[in-house]
């Protein structure tokens, strides 16, 4: 059962209750609790809960039946809501017809397409790749929505039967829409439970995730079964999106964030238990409604009541015993072709990066006859922003790429770094404090690492996501943390080595230098004992532990290293964005994008991180071209690359899990004169492809049957077993 009798859970639960009581007493609004207000608040809570239950049901169904936790569930809802708006509001279709077309035709088709093109190939992929790919689908869907339905027109999705028709409840009215949503959500959850437990197709859906081959041997059609799962999951996402849109408004980011609450609800049911997930969703709904009605956290914690879901997610993931993950599924490990980058190669690479950046931004390069010229402030702004994100991205290389620890909270670490810097050097801009920031961020990383030590894969991803969300709802909006928000004051210019980096170009080059230092540090780290240990715990924690690697400590160190890199990067990110609202600046979606970029770059080799520098370079370059007013198609191309590029690259991991950049590097390295090893490797691989048996012996013609028999006799393989006729005939 979910609620085991573990003492730690009981302690955590009672502490949580105590904290809740204290919070309630301290922040009581003083609103009178009457049976009427209580009833209304409860019905709002149940209604909210029902909406989230619909998303959570979809998540749980897809996870139980395909083994893939679908981060794109919310984005499917967003797409469906916009499509429904287009058909119903913009084109004037009847709501039932539009609903049928979107939920009954479009959504299942989308689910089947996702399954056939992508998910089916992910079965044997590692969990990191699985997660990254669903996140990429989420980001791509949201980008498509943003491109088709541009944000400049205000849009509203109407309630199904109008907001004013409904049951009279005394002080307020229960609109039909909300009643229907509630009933539909319950009906869906009940019927899904029935489908999964009581029908043969449902049994087959769960059987396929257990053992696909055996399901086929039983006579079930695995492909049809898994497509059915995706179609169902997609339909639930779509219906949820359409029904929740009237409440939240048609904003892709807001609608997409709903899914985090659904994650919390699903985690409450250990990701597989449907009734518990629904109860979790209702619980969050009630908590949210009642805290909103009775509690006032004051302006300092104005987003606190929104943080119930991430906090519950954190609590559930950390406190409750974990469900078994990946039972009977083998992790698919790839053969590593890696050679340590030599120290001078690292130096050379970093030098090339700095020169390239200087040449690009300074307009030193002559691009085939036309001169793009030096970057102006617009280009530099955009490039600086991308550069800071690339720096944050580098911090994930040891964490995700080497140690295999998924982390969706790089921006939370970065934001903490910015906060520390503001407190230390907010007035002077003294750059030497940046080193101190690096030191102070390490303990935060270690703190996150401690629960992470017992979590793996998906739960770790969910925990870091909840952590990031909680930080951006509770910590960063507090005026004491970021007092310059909304005041128009800027982060101070960084002052280092007697130079004040107040112009954008100088700052850009400063960041490029820091980038180069980071990359070089990674090259050295990878060669160190810790670099090897991180790789080892990624391959097999158990094996690493038996060899004497202290697994927990090793994880703590990698989190600390990553957090301090991210913290330092955060200083630059905050300085670039100046007085940007911290809630947006440390937004989860940007965090997802960074993680995607890093995943796409193929994080396992440090030099691959260098490729992150091309994003700011392309950004600035593209804008420069636009200003120059020529080569339109190139501008469009660069625009598409920067919007869809990361997502598409990650989708490429479906076919090539090591990441696109990795393969590019493999293609590139044999060209380098000193890489004879790379050339030899390619040659060996080609030889293996041709003819394994003969190639290995170095012979140029196949054996004759007599030779085969002679060899077998020499090796004492055959002896008295008389060869059948035709034995030894070599393969033609």
Partner 1 sequence: MSAEGATPLLELVGIRAGYGTIDVLHGVDLRVMPGTVYALLGPNGAGKTTTLGVASGQIQPHAGSVLLDGHEVNGVSPDRLARAGVCLIPEGRGIFPNLTVAENLRMSTYAGVSYKQVQERAFAQFPRLQERRTQMAGTLSGGEQQMLAMSRALSTDPAILMLDELSMGLAPIIVEELYEQVATLAEAGLSILIVEQFAQAVLGVANEAAIMLHGRIQRTGPPEEIAEELTAAYLGMS
Q: Which helix (H) or strand (E) holds 97?
A: helix 95-99
By CB under 8 A, residue 217 contacts partner 1: yes
CA 691/CA 679 separation, integer angstroms: 19
By CB under 8 A, residue 116 contacts partner 1: no
Centroid of chain to Cα 652:
15
**Beta carbon nearer to partner 1, 204 or 566:** 204
Count of residues of this chain found to bind partner 1 when the rule CB under 8 A is applied: 35
By CB under 8 A, residue 684 contacts partner 1: no
Closest CB 706 distance from partner 1, rounded Å? 16
CA 645/CA 657 separation, integer angstroms: 16
Spatial contact of 293 and 41, defined as CB atoms under 8 Å apart:
yes
CA 516/CA 510 separation, integer angstroms: 10
φ, ψ dihedrals at 16, nearest 5°: -60, -45
Residue of 206, 290, 505, 624 interacting with partner 1 (CB under 8 A): 206
Q: 420-444 in b/e burial notation, b at 16+ Cβ within 10 A?
A: bbbebbbeebbbebbeebbebbbeb
By CB under 8 A, residue 723 contacts partner 1: yes
Closest CB 725 distance from partner 1, rounded Å? 10
- Single out the residue of 358, 398, 337, 698 nearest to residue 564, CA to CA: 398
The two most distant CA atoms of the chain are separated, in Å, by: 99
By CB under 8 A, residue 154 contacts partner 1: no
- Single out the residue of 588, 644, 656 nearest to residue 136, CA to CA: 644
**Beta carbon nearer to partner 1, 435 or 684:** 684
Closest CB 464 distance from partner 1, rounded Å? 27
Residue of 92, 219, 299, 629 interacting with partner 1 (CB under 8 A): 219
Q: Which range of residues in 78-86, 210-218, 493-501, 670-678 is near partner 1 by CB under 8 A?
A: 210-218
**Beta carbon nearer to partner 1, 427 or 719:** 719
**Beta carbon nearer to partner 1, 217 or 671:** 217
**Beta carbon nearer to partner 1, 25 or 722:** 722
Residue of 30, 154, 299, 328 interacting with partner 1 (CB under 8 A): 328
By CB under 8 A, residue 724 contacts partner 1: yes
Q: Which range of residues in 211-219, 286-294, 314-322, 584-592 is near partner 1 by CB under 8 A?
A: 211-219
Q: Which range of residues in 14-22, 201-209, 240-248, 253-261 is near partner 1 by CB under 8 A?
A: 201-209
Closest CB 541 distance from partner 1, rounded Å? 22
Residue of 50, 215, 286, 535 interacting with partner 1 (CB under 8 A): 215
Residue of 156, 221, 333, 336 interacting with partner 1 (CB under 8 A): 221
Residue of 113, 216, 551, 711 interacting with partner 1 (CB under 8 A): 216
Q: Which helix (H) or strand (E) holds 568?
A: helix 551-577
Spatial contact of 421 and 571, defined as CB atoms under 8 Å apart:
yes
CA 44/CA 623 separation, integer angstroms: 48
Which DSSP letter does residue 342 get? P
**Beta carbon nearer to partner 1, 204 or 444:** 204
CA 515/CA 554 separation, integer angstroms: 24
Closest CB 206 distance from partner 1, rounded Å? 6
Residue of 45, 222, 415, 567 interacting with partner 1 (CB under 8 A): 222
Q: Which range of residues in 167-175, 216-224, 357-365, 610-618 is near partner 1 by CB under 8 A?
A: 216-224
CA atoms within 13 A on the CB side of 420: 29
Residue of 347, 352, 684, 717 interacting with partner 1 (CB under 8 A): 717
CA 438/CA 19 separation, integer angstroms: 32
Over the window 687 to 716, marking each residue x when it contacts partner 1 by CB under 8 A and - when it does not, the resulting string is --x--x-----------------------x
Q: 59-73 in b/e burial notation, b at 16+ Cβ within 10 A?
A: bbbbbbbbbbbbbbb
- Single out the residue of 346, 277, 364 nearest to residue 312, CA to CA: 277
Spatial contact of 616 and 358, defined as CB atoms under 8 Å apart:
no
Q: Which range of residues in 206-214, 228-236, 596-604, 666-674 is near partner 1 by CB under 8 A?
A: 206-214
Closest CB 518 distance from partner 1, rounded Å? 39
Q: Kindly give, in sequence order, each residue whose CB lies less than 8 Å from that of residue 150, ignoring residues fewer than 6 positions away.
A: none
Q: Kindly give, in sequence order, each residue whose CB lies less than 8 Å from that of residue 489, ignoring residues fewer than 6 positions away.
A: 579
By CB under 8 A, residue 321 contacts partner 1: no
Q: Which range of residues in 84-92, 173-181, 207-215, 631-639 is near partner 1 by CB under 8 A?
A: 207-215
CA 667/CA 679 separation, integer angstroms: 10
By CB under 8 A, residue 207 contacts partner 1: yes
By CB under 8 A, residue 517 contacts partner 1: no
By CB under 8 A, residue 210 contacts partner 1: yes
- Single out the residue of 521, 526, 509, 502 nearest to residue 613, CA to CA: 509
Q: Which range of residues in 77-85, 199-207, 484-492, 669-677 is near partner 1 by CB under 8 A?
A: 199-207
By CB under 8 A, residue 731 contacts partner 1: yes
Q: Kindly give, in sequence order, each residue whose CB lies less than 8 Å from that of residue 652, ignoring residues fewer than 6 positions away.
A: 600, 659, 660
CA angle 614, 72, 570 (to 5 degrees): 40
**Beta carbon nearer to partner 1, 171 or 692:** 692
Neighbours of 283 (CB within 10 A): 18
Q: 366-396 in b/e burial notation, b at 16+ Cβ within 10 A?
A: eeeeeebeebeeebbbbbbbbbbbbbbbbbb
First to last CA, the chain: 60
Residue of 40, 157, 204, 309 interacting with partner 1 (CB under 8 A): 204
By CB under 8 A, residue 211 contacts partner 1: yes
**Beta carbon nearer to partner 1, 34 or 199:** 199
Burial class (CB in 10 A: 0-12, 13-18, 19+), 548: exposed
CA 225/CA 42 separation, integer angstroms: 39
**Beta carbon nearer to partner 1, 32 or 726:** 726
**Beta carbon nearer to partner 1, 17 or 729:** 729
Residue of 152, 168, 213, 700 interacting with partner 1 (CB under 8 A): 213
**Beta carbon nearer to partner 1, 220 or 316:** 220
Give me the numbers of helices (H) and strands (E) for the chain, helices first please.
31, 4
Closest CB 215 distance from partner 1, rounded Å? 7
By CB under 8 A, residue 542 contacts partner 1: no
By CB under 8 A, residue 327 contacts partner 1: yes
**Beta carbon nearer to partner 1, 319 or 718:** 718
CA 603/CA 660 separation, integer angstroms: 10
Q: Which range of residues in 113-121, 196-204, 422-430, 452-460 is near partner 1 by CB under 8 A?
A: 196-204
**Beta carbon nearer to partner 1, 91 or 689:** 689
Neighbours of 207 (CB within 10 A): 18
Residue of 218, 377, 487, 656 interacting with partner 1 (CB under 8 A): 218
Closest CB 218 distance from partner 1, rounded Å? 5
Closest CB 710 distance from partner 1, rounded Å? 15
3-state secondary structure of 421: helix
Q: Which range of residues in 111-119, 212-220, 258-266, 476-484 is near partner 1 by CB under 8 A?
A: 212-220
CA 378/CA 361 separation, integer angstroms: 12
Spatial contact of 134 and 233, defined as CB atoms under 8 Å apart:
no
* Residues forming beta bridges with residue 168, ordered by sequence position: 173
By CB under 8 A, residue 194 contacts partner 1: no
By CB under 8 A, residue 721 contacts partner 1: yes
Q: Which residues bind partner 1 (CB under 8 A)?
A: 200, 203-204, 206-207, 209-211, 213-222, 327-328, 689, 692, 716-724, 726-727, 729, 731
């Amino acid at each position: 059962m979910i609620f085991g009798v573990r003492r730690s859970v009981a302690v955590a639960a009672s502490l949580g209750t105590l904290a809740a009581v204290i919070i309630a007493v301290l922040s009581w609004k003083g609103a009178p609790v009457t049976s009427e207000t209580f009833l209304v608040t409860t019905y709002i809570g149940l209604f909210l809960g029902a909406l989230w239950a619909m998303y959570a049901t979809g998540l749980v169904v897809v996870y139980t039946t395909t083994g893939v936790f679908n981060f794109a569930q919310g984005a499917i809802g967003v797409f469906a809501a916009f499509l429904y708006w287009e058909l119903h509001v913009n084109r004037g279709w009847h709501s039932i017809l539009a609903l049928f077309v979107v939920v009954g035709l479009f959504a299942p088709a989308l689910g089947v397409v996702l399954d056939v093109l992508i998910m089916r190939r992910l079965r044997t992929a590692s969990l990191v790749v699985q997660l990254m790919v669903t996140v990429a689908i989420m980001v791509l869907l949201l980008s498509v929505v943003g491109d088709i339905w541009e944000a400049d027109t205000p849009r509203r999705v109407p309630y199904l039967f109008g907001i004013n028709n409904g049951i009279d409840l005394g002080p307020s009215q229960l609109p039909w829409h909300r009643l229907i949503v509630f009933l539909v959500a319950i009906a869906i959850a009940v019927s899904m439970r029935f489908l999964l437990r009581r029908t043969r197709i449902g049994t087959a859906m769960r059987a396929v995730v257990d053992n696909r081959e055996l399901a086929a041997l039983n006579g079930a059609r695995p492909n049809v079964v898994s497509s059915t799962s995706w179609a169902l999951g997609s339909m639930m996402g779509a219906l949820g999106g359409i029904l929740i849109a009237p409440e939240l408004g048609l904003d892709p980011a807001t609608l997409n964030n709903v899914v985090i609450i659904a994650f919390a609800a699903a985690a409450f049911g250990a990701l597989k238990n449907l009734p518990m997930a629904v109860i979790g969703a209702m619980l969050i709904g009630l908590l949210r409604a009642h805290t909103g009605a009775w509690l006032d956290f004051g302006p300092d914690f104005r987003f606190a009541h929104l943080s119930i879901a991430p906090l519950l997610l954190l609590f559930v993931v950390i406190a409750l015993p974990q469900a078994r993950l990946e039972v009977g599924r083998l992790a698919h490990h790839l053969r590593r072709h890696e050679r340590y980058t030599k120290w001078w190669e690292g130096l050379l690479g970093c030098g090339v990066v700095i020169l390239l950046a200087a040449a690009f931004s300074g307009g030193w390069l002559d691009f085939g006859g036309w001169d793009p010229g030096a970057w102006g402030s617009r280009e530099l702004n955009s490039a600086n922003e991308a550069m800071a994100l690339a720096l944050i991205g580098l911090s994930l290389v040891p964490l995700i790429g080497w140690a295999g620890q998924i982390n969706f909270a790089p921006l939370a670490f970065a934001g903490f770094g910015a906060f520390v810097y503001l407190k230390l050097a907010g007035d002077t801009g003294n750059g030497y404090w940046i080193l101190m920031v690096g030191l102070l961020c390490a303990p935060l990383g270690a703190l996150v690492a401690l629960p992470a030590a017992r979590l793996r894969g998906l739960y770790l991803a969910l925990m870091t996501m909840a952590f990031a969300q909680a930080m951006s709802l509770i910590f960063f909006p507090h005026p004491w943390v970021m007092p310059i928000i909304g005041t128009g004051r800027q982060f101070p210019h960084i002052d280092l080595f007697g130079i004040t980096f107040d112009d954008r170009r100088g700052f850009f080059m400063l960041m490029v230098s820091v980038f180069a230092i980071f990359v070089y540090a990674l090259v050295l780290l990878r060669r160190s004992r810790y670099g090897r240990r991180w790789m080892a715990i990624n391959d097999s924690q158990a094996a690493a532990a038996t060899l004497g690697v202290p697994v927990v400590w090793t994880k703590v160190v990698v989190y600390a290293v990553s957090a301090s890199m991210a913290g330092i990067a955060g200083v630059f990110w905050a300085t670039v964005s100046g007085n940007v609202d911290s809630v947006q600046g440390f937004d989860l979606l940007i965090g997802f994008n960074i993680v995607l970029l890093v995943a796409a770059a193929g994080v396992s080799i440090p030099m691959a991180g260098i490729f992150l520098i091309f994003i700011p370079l392309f950004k600035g370059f593209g804008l420069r071209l636009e200003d120059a007013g020529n080569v339109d198609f190139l501008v469009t191309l660069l625009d598409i690359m920067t919007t869809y590029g990361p997502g598409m690259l990650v989708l490429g991991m479906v076919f090539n899990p090591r990441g696109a950049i990795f393969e590019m590097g493999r293609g590139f390295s044999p060209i380098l004169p000193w890489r004879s090893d790379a050339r030899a490797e390619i040659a060996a691989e080609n030889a293996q492809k041709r003819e394994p048996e003969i190639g290995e012996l170095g012979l140029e013609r196949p054996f004759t049957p007599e030779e085969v028999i002679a060899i077998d006799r020499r090796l004492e393989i055959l002896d008295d077993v008389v060869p059948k006729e035709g034995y030894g005939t070599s393969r033609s």
